[in-house]
A = this chain, B = another copy of it.
Amino acid sequence: MTETKIPYKIYLEESEMPRTWYNVRADMKIKPAPLLNPGTGKPCTAEQLGAVFCDELVKQELDDTTREFEIPEEILGFYRMYRPSPLVRAYRLEEKLDTPAKIYYKFEGNNTSGSHKLNSAIAQAYYAKQQGLKGVTTETGAGQWGTALSMACAYLGLDCKVYMVKCSYEQKPFRREVMRTYGASVTPSPSMTTEVGRRILAEDPDTTGSLGCAISEAVEDATTHEGYRYVLGSVLNQVLLHQSVIGVETKIAMDKYGIVPDIIIGCAGGGSNLGGLISPFMGEMLRGEREYEFIAVEPASCPSLTRGVFAYDFCDTGKVCPLAKMYTLGSGFIPSANHAGGLRYHGMSPVLSELYHEGLIKARSVEQTKVFEAAEFFARTEGILPAPESSHAIRAAIDEAVKCRETGEDKTILFGLTGTGYFDMVAYEKFNDGTMDDYIPSDAELEASFAQLPRF
Contacts and interface: CB of A to CB of B under 8 A. Distances in A.
A182 B112 contact: no
Interface in A164-196: 173-174, 177-178, 180-183
A352 to B, nearest CB: 29
Interface in A58-85: 78, 80-82
B428 A177 contact: yes
Contacts of A420: 112
B8 A80 contact: yes
B112 A110 contact: no
B180 A379 contact: no
A177 B425 contact: yes
Instruction: Give the interface size bracket for A toward B.
Output: 35 or more
A432 interface: yes
A151 interface: yes
A383 interface: yes
A92 interface: yes
Nearest to A13: B7
Contacts of A82: 383
A423 B425 CA distance: 10
Contacts of A80: 7-9
A226 interface: no
A422 B422 contact: yes
Contacts of A151: 383
A423 B423 CA distance: 8
Contacts of A7: 13-14, 80
Contacts of A9: 80
Nearest to A423: B422
A181 B379 contact: yes
Nearest to A114: B422
Contacts of A11: 11
Interface of A: 1, 7-9, 11, 13-14, 78, 80-82, 92, 110-112, 114, 151, 154-155, 173-174, 177-178, 180-183, 376, 379-385, 420, 422-423, 425-426, 428-429, 431-432
Given A111-B384, A174-B422, A177-B432, 9 more contacts: A1-B14, A7-B14, A151-B383, A173-B429, A177-B428, A178-B422, A178-B428, A181-B379, A422-B422
